[in-house]
Amino acid sequence: MKTPSNLIYGVKEKPPNLVCLISGLQQIAIIAPILVLPILTIRAGGGTLDAATAIVSLSLVALGVGTILQSLAQRWIGSGYLISFCFTNAYYPVSVLAVKLGGLPLLFGMTLFSGAVETLFAPLLRRLRPFFPAEISGICVLLIGLVVGLLGIRQILGIDEIADQSGASSGPEIALGIGTLAVMVGLNVWSKGSLRMYCAIVGILVGLIAGAGMGDFNGTAFSTTALSAGVVALPKWSARLPHFRLDLVIPFAITALACALRAMGDITNAQRINDSDWVRPEMISIRNGLFADGLSTMVSALLGSVGGNTYSASVGLSSATGVTSRQISLWTGGILIALSIFPVAAAAVVSIPRPVIGAALLFNSAFILISGIQIITSRLLDSRKTFTIGLALVLSVSRDVFPGFYRAVPDILQALVSSGFVMGVSAALLLNAIFRIGVRQRVTMKLDAGPVNRDTIERFFTEQGGRWGARRDIISRAIFGVVQVLEVVGDIPEGTEIEASFDEFNLDVRIRYKGTPLIIPGRKPTPREIIASEEGERLLAGYLLRQSADRVSCKTSDSASDVRLHYDH
């Protein structure tokens, strides 16, 4: 990993405490508009105002825990990047349905289920990698950029789709949004150092002051939280048993998959921002990030709130400010948890004027969109990928251009066409799966009896690797693997057959010969064992094969042995 020169503090660096504090506050400022989602969900589902306000504080705890979990770089959990956890529009329709059908116990149960689906999907990701290639992550990031940008425009123009209301901002409110955006963009483009780092929060502060001067203050949100809960109050948690409904399993599972894809896109974006040598998504970080994302949704459910997801605007903000240190996540999470005992502070955050929040979202969307385009174009785009990307994007846009048509789609398919994002990503996944037909190429060579002809093996793999566009390091590992196998099996009178098959994600090599099977030990032989006899050398050979290939197996039938070496590509 090579830290790009445009970053002021990279992911592994530890900025001064003041930078962490202000960057954490910037992250919270852009989360602010989404903090109303749990309230809106419960109220839209027929829940009381008291029930809605009660979950605000615990929701802050859920966001704090989720943000910290995502920043961990542990063996099984956390992508290791600065990506805030936030409530998501993706959960809104299904959560409202759950509250309407079974109240908070059903919302709790189904959100818990959804989080579990995402955590279970995480370990399968490596095996399923061909079905989730980088260009689909790029499509996710691009569509997320569009969603965030459109959300920003809705906030500036006063069109609130979530609350199922329509309306328009006044001229001064629109001017407030444009002015705030101009401050952020201006500071980002023409300033350096601290001003560039804090361009988002400076823009928000300028917008807040200007908004207060204009009398634009979200008093409703403020009164529903602070005035009813007080200035300082410990979060109240109510124990309840989870309820489940079979007919909600598919909608919640699809939502979980959509969140997993969005998380994949966000983590891929974070990887690309933090590594100037970035070539392809790093799957372990994505797997652990998905696990953290699913677990965070489960924590949110346990605390009585709604499902959440990685927040794309958070990645956009870190890219814009040049501060991507994972330390910021700890501060962001810590501040969010601390805010949970100050309902008045949470209310103040929720009360930032909508046009100001809209400007911040629009500002971030530009960075997210460009990241998506860069991820897509970083791949060699053949005709398969061209159709996958092009058709998926057009279908996604068609959802918002022709909403009437999609509303008439049968109920069973409604979850798939519930938003342009879900529709575009689902279409990309389906097309990618279809286009995998016929993608695998296979070649075979026969080696005659006699000493191992290494030159022939090297030429065969190097030439084929060149034709396939395979990575040189993977071809080198395969050459080593084949030579090592043939050295151990020795001279075979009937000769040896080598078959290599390749697609963009896998290189598989089969070596068939008449003879005793290869021993592939589970433990590494000691230097003493290796020195002591040629048997020790054979054990080392098997052990090296096990370590150098991503999978290795040896089967025998009718005195014929079949060694299979698999390399992830």
| Contact residues: other proteins, CB under 8 A | 451-452, 454-455, 458, 473, 476-477, 479-480, 483-484, 487-488, 524, 527, 530-531, 534, 536-538, 540-541, 543-544, 547-548
Least separation in angstroms between CB 524 and other proteins: 5
- The CB-side HSE value for 271 (13 A sphere, CA atoms) comes to 25
Least separation in angstroms between CB 500 and other proteins: 18
Least separation in angstroms between CB 513 and other proteins: 16
Q: How far apart are CA 214 and CA 203, in angstroms?
A: 16
Smaller CB separation from other proteins, 514 or 524: 524
**Residue 502, strand partner residues:** 441, 507
Least separation in angstroms between CB 553 and other proteins: 18
Smaller CB separation from other proteins, 279 or 531: 531
Instruction: Give the count of beta carbons closer than 10 Å to the beta carbon of residue 480.
Output: 16
- The CB-side HSE value for 5 (13 A sphere, CA atoms) comes to 0
Task: Determine the number of helices (DSSP H) and then strands (DSSP E) in the chain.
Answer: 24, 7
Smaller CB separation from other proteins, 137 or 464: 464
Smaller CB separation from other proteins, 103 or 536: 536
**Residue the block writes with tokens 């652990």:** 288
Question: Both ends of the chain: CA-CA distance in Å?
Answer: 19
Smaller CB separation from other proteins, 221 or 488: 488
- Residue ranges in 325-453 assigned as alpha helix (H): 327-339, 343-350, 354-377, 383-401, 403-407, 411-414, 420-434
3-state secondary structure of 131: helix
Q: How far apart are CA 187 and CA 202, in angstroms?
A: 9
Smaller CB separation from other proteins, 442 or 459: 459
Smaller CB separation from other proteins, 386 or 526: 526
Q: How far apart are CA 259 and CA 237, in angstroms?
A: 26
Least separation in angstroms between CB 271 and other proteins: 22
Q: Could you tell me the two tokens for 149? A: 């940008």
Least separation in angstroms between CB 546 and other proteins: 9
Q: Name, in order, each residue with C-beta under 8 angstroms of 404's C-beta and a sequence gap of 6 or more.
A: none
Q: How far apart are CA 30 and CA 359, in angstroms?
A: 10
Least separation in angstroms between CB 534 and other proteins: 8
Smaller CB separation from other proteins, 440 or 459: 459
Least separation in angstroms between CB 117 and other proteins: 36
